[in-house]
Structure 1
Amino acid sequence: MTESETVVPERPAVPRTAWTRLAVCTAIAALLQADGTIVTVALPSVGSAFDISAHTASWLLTAYFAVYALGLFPGGRLVDRLGPGTVALAGLTLFCAGTLVGALAGSFEALVASRVLQGAGAGLASPAALAGAVSGFPAERRGTALGIWGAASGLSNLVGPLLGGILTEAWGWRANWWALLPLGLLTALSVLRWVRPAAGPEPRERAGEGPGARPSTAAVQGASVVAALTFATMIGTFFLVEQYLQEAVGYGVLEAALAPMVLALCIGAMGPVAGRLTDRFGERMPAVAGFLACAVAFAGYALPGTPLHGPWLLPGGLLLGSGLGLLFPSTSRLALNSVPQRLHGRASSYLSFGRLAGAACGAALAGLAFRDGVTSGHLRTALTGGLLLAVLGAALVLLWFRRPAPADATPN
């Protein structure tokens, strides 16, 4: 077949029910991501209420993320056996129970117990949300679905602290738990109504990746590592900006929380675009472009003399947010399209674990950069580290992500 005779394959149709399931599962993912960050701003108030140190209060974060991570792999296996709807409902039930315990907690120990319950629920619901989001989409259209899913997930990580700041200042720390309860219940009701235990017939897979194909474990693990680098970059940057603006520049809590909104808006706007690009060109190109955009943004602010607050943050924020938005759908699509749908739960658990591990490492590295004080010099050093992480991410994508098949390729 000559180049002029190349036939562009027709895009497979997506049923309306698949879009509905995507919306519900996207809401689950956004809720879980927001819960990981919404209480961060409330920690000083919790410390004052129970007369505990900042270090002790940090157990509210540690308990949630540790139990969340431990629950992912059994959660993924349950998704493959029982279906995303059943497991998501069970996880949200646990999550809502933990949220109610936290809202009524009379001691710090009860508050930690509430975070354990929330983390256990998140460990079940997270892989169910990702597997359910694409359950009605053929492999060729999953990038579009994952672009929407990833945009909402990334946005909620950054919107969480802003919402937490508003709730804490207006009504106190308990308001963070009370606000999550109706959101969790509404999401659970949506699962009951629109996400079925069985997603129907398995969508058409890519060439060589049908139900009988051997799962590509290496591709899933590689995507998980790239997802970890993405979240290390995003959460580390958020931590650095928040700490620097509050402690070195003198911004208030809400004023500092508004600064990352540029990142959030760009991630939200770029996600669906990135999903369509991934469906059209494959995972490699958008992922490399995303990491390179992050690298350029970090390089600009790491240079001595570049202003690190005020309007000068806008250009780099736009570039960094756009780069992060490009990364979400490509990594998820690679992992899910590398295995048959009956293993999507396990693939989703690997991706979620990578994101959690990356977020933890990003926050730890950012904290390490400021161990001797929050200064512009230490911030530039940390940004240089972010540049190196982004370059490493681009190199790994080039090494691990496969090139897209030619347009005239046909299944054997």
Structure 2
Amino acid sequence: MTTSPAQPASPAGAASLPADYRPWPALWAMVIGFFMILLDNTIVSVATPDIITDLHTDFTNGIWVTSAYLLAYAVPLLITGRLGDRFGPKNVYLVGLVIFTLASLWCGLTGSIGGLITARVVQGIGASLITPQTMAVITRTFPPARRGAAMALWGATAGVATLVGPILGGVLVDVAGWEWIFFINVPVGAIGFVLAWRLVPTLPTHSHSFDLIGVALSAVGMFALVFGIQEGERYDWGTITGILSVPLLIGGGVAVLVVFVWWQSRVRTEPLVPLGLFRDRNFAVANVGIALVSAAITSMSLPFMFYAQGARAWSPIQAGLFMLPMALVLMILSPLMGRLVDTVHPRSITLVGFSTAAVAMGWTALLIDPDTPPWQLLIPMALFGVSNACLWAPLGATATRNLPMSAAGAGAGVYNTTRQVAAALGSAAVAALIGARLSANGLEGSAESFQQAGGTMPKFVTGPFSTAMAESYWLPVGAFVVGLVAVLFFREPTHDRT
């Protein structure tokens, strides 16, 4: 049954919830699925060499195991967020979790690279159904004045999953084989389904007419843009096939998205993306902020892993362990940040986050050298954990605080689309920068080819290779500095904090 949204004084759907309903168990249940899908963003990168060897394929197809997932995850997010408004976030979440879990089993059982890539596409579709619903449930079940603590859990989950993926992936690949990075999702998904079925409330739905033209424009534009960004480095930013080139694909994607925005302002029924959301300055600034955070985190991990596994010849597990201080500090500080978000101006917390992040990344860049004692690298990594705690929760809470409840899914879809596309942009940008800095330092070839040399990398190569990786680190530094300026435009939230 379709009902109207609850009154603004209480969370949407409060009238339909039991009097003794507790939102925290429901959120913890959904966080299980959210953590699992974000973990799959990064966990596969560690297993790629073993997948290539075991399935008798090449590096290009191996990279597609990750690219296919990211494409299928990012492209539908605007649409899947809206599906939660129409059919209920619980229902869409459960469908997505089933798809993701069964696709994970398919990934582990497949014996061909084609089958694995196809299964990863299905996995990505499941992930795109899950992600917006977690934010939508927070928006609709927690009152604005207490939403910061819930967003702290959401942000900590996103941050920790991004950072521990390489660690867990290295352990599973070394101990059990690459298939287990997918098999482990099956019992976790089953547990998450049962908990979500029992604990997540059935919230009121909102009657939406789907803008089919908007759906088509957003899907085509997002696919062309994200595919061009992700695959640009592979094709040397030139021709893909025939007359199709990377610049043409990216430019075409941008053009289609411009038409999409124009259409959203003209559509007479109900737009896929309510442009009025961006009249809220805090929503707009938070989207800029999360884009810069996502791009920077993606662009910092790649050169560090190349440096650690290439110039230093550390194993995947050893390299991944350098991310552990970030994850630990983030988990410790996130509850505190959640309480502060509900009482402190968001500008204050995010200024600390962006400034410490810029310092931590610049510090790391100065330490990337073949002779740096490993323990010294742990200090800026721990500082970066402070940064993450001051960014994920405040940005998410500020973005959703004043969203109209009928647009909770749409707002979550926009926010998560921004995050995913920015991550693809950061990955493509740093890949291009790494190639340019390798050439500038007298090294020809890709970073992957040098990394594969591992412990056999000659001493005369490790110096300029490390220098190229260090110079690439100034990209995330720049992104965090821009973020520092952007969050100056945050306004004090107007909600009642009582």
TM-score, normalization: structure 2?
0.73
Matched AA of 1:86: N
Residues 367-405 of structure 1 show CA distances to partners (whole Å, capped at 9, x for unaligned) of 233322562322332222222111100111113x21345
For the 8 Å contact 1:63–1:112, the answer to whether it is kept is: yes
1:295 to 336, 340, 358: 358
Name the residue aligned to 1:208: none
Shift of 1:346: 1.0
Q: Does 1:337 align with 2:398?
A: no
- C-alpha separation in 1, matches of 2:303 and 2:352: 23
Q: How many residues are treated as equivalent by the alignment?
A: 387
> Hey, what's the Cα distance between the residues in 2 that align with 1:388 and 1:97?
40
236, 242, 245: which is aligned to 2:308?
245
Q: Is the 8 A contact 2:42 2:162 kept in 1?
A: yes
CA separation in 1, counterparts of 2:412 and 2:372?
A: 37
Q: Distance in 1 between matches of 2:397 and 2:356?
A: 20
Aligned: 1:48 with 2:138:
no
User: Within the alignment, does 1:313 sit opposite 2:377 as a pair?
Assistant: yes
Does the CA contact (< 8 Å) of 1:98 and 1:113 recur in 2? no
The TM-score normalised by the length of structure 1 is 0.87
Distance apart, 1:81 and its partner CA:
1.4
Whether the aligned pair in 2 keeps the contact of 1:18 and 1:137 (CA below 8 Å) is yes
Q: State the Cα deviation string for residues 162-214 of structure 1 (Å, max 9, x = none).
A: 111111112211111111111112111111111122179xxxxxxxxxxxxx9
1:230 aligns with 2:293: yes
1:390 to 470, 474, 480: 480
- Amino acid corresponding to residue 336 of structure 2 in structure 1: V
Match of 1:68 among 73, 76, 94: 73
Structure 2 gaps, min length 5: 1-10, 12-18, 206-274, 448-464
Letter in 2 for 1:333: A
Correspondences of 1:178-257 after superposition (within 5 Å):
178-198=183-203, 215-218=276-279, 219=281, 220-257=283-320
Question: Counterparts of 1:222 and 1:188 in 2: how far apart (Å)?
Answer: 34
Q: Provide, for residues 37-83 of structure 1, a one-character-per-residue CA deviation record: whole Å limited to 9, x for no partner.
A: 12211111111112111121111111111111112111111111122
* Number of the residue aligned with 1:402: 491
Unaligned runs of 5+ residues in structure 1 are: 1-11, 201-213
The residue aligned with 2:138 is 133
Q: 1:291 to 1:308 in 2, by over 3 A?
A: farther
> What CA deviation, in whole Å up to 9, does each residue of 1:203-250 have, x standing for no partner?
xxxxxxxxxxx9532443432221111112222222222111110111
1:365 is the counterpart of 2:429? yes
Aligned partner of 1:106 in structure 2 is: 111
Any conservation in 2 of the 1:271–1:328 contact (CA below 8 Å)? Answer: no
> What is the aligned partner in structure 1 of residue 386 from structure 2?
322
The answer (yes or no) to whether the contact 1:162–1:254 under 8 Å persists in 2 is yes
Give the whole-Å Cα distance in 2 for the aligned partners of 1:376 and 1:109.
35
- Give the SS at the match of 1:85: helix
CA distance in 2, matches of 1:406, 1:308: 49
Per the alignment, do residues 184 and 390 of structure 1 end up closer, same or farther by CA in structure 2, a change over 3 Å counting?
Answer: same
Indicate which of 120, 126, 135 corresponds to 2:125.
120
Taking a change above 3 Å as real, the CA distance of residues 155 and 343 of structure 1, as seen in their structure-2 partners, is same
Could you give the per-residue CA deviations for residues 334-365 of structure 1, whole angstroms, max 9, x where no partner exists?
22113112211111111211221222222223
Matching residue within 160, 170, 173 for 2:175: 170
Does the C-alpha gap of structure 1 residues 34 and 248 become closer, same or farther in structure 2, counting only changes over 3 Å?
same
CA contact (8 A) 1:281 1:404 kept: no
Q: Give the partner amino acid of 1:386.
A: P
Q: CA RMSD in A?
A: 2.7
- SS of 1:250's equivalent in the other structure is coil
Segment of structure 1 superposing worse, 241-250 or 370-379 = 370-379
Distance 2:343 2:67 in 1: 40
Distance 2:352 2:306 in 1: 28
1:27 aligns with 2:91: no
Tell me what 2:246 maps to. none
Question: SS of the counterpart of 1:216?
Answer: helix
What amino acid does structure 2 have at the position aligned with 1:168? V
SS in 2 for 1:135: helix
SS in 2 for 1:280: coil
Q: Give 1:406 shift.
A: 10
Aligned-pair CA distance for 1:89: 0.4
Match of 1:355 among 416, 419, 430: 419
**Cα–Cα, structure 1 residues 88 and 308, in superposed 2: closer, same or farther, change >3 Å?**
farther
Within the alignment, does 1:38 sit opposite 2:43 as a pair? yes
Identity percentage over the alignment? 30
Partner of 2:3: none
Q: Aligned residue for 1:274?
A: 337
- Note if contact 1:142-1:279 (Cα within 8 Å) is conserved in structure 2: yes
Does 2:101 match 1:96?
Answer: yes
Q: Distance in 2 between matches of 1:392 and 1:63?
A: 30
Supply the distance in 1 between the matched residues of 2:484 and 2:358 (Cα, whole angstroms). Answer: 9
**Counterpart residue identity of residue 217, structure 1:** F
> Structure 1 residues 192 and 387, CA, compared in 2 at 3 Å: closer, same or farther?
same
Structure 1 runs of 4+ aligned residues shifted over 4 Å read 303-309, 404-407
User: What amino acid is aligned across from residue 360 of structure 2 in structure 1?
Assistant: A
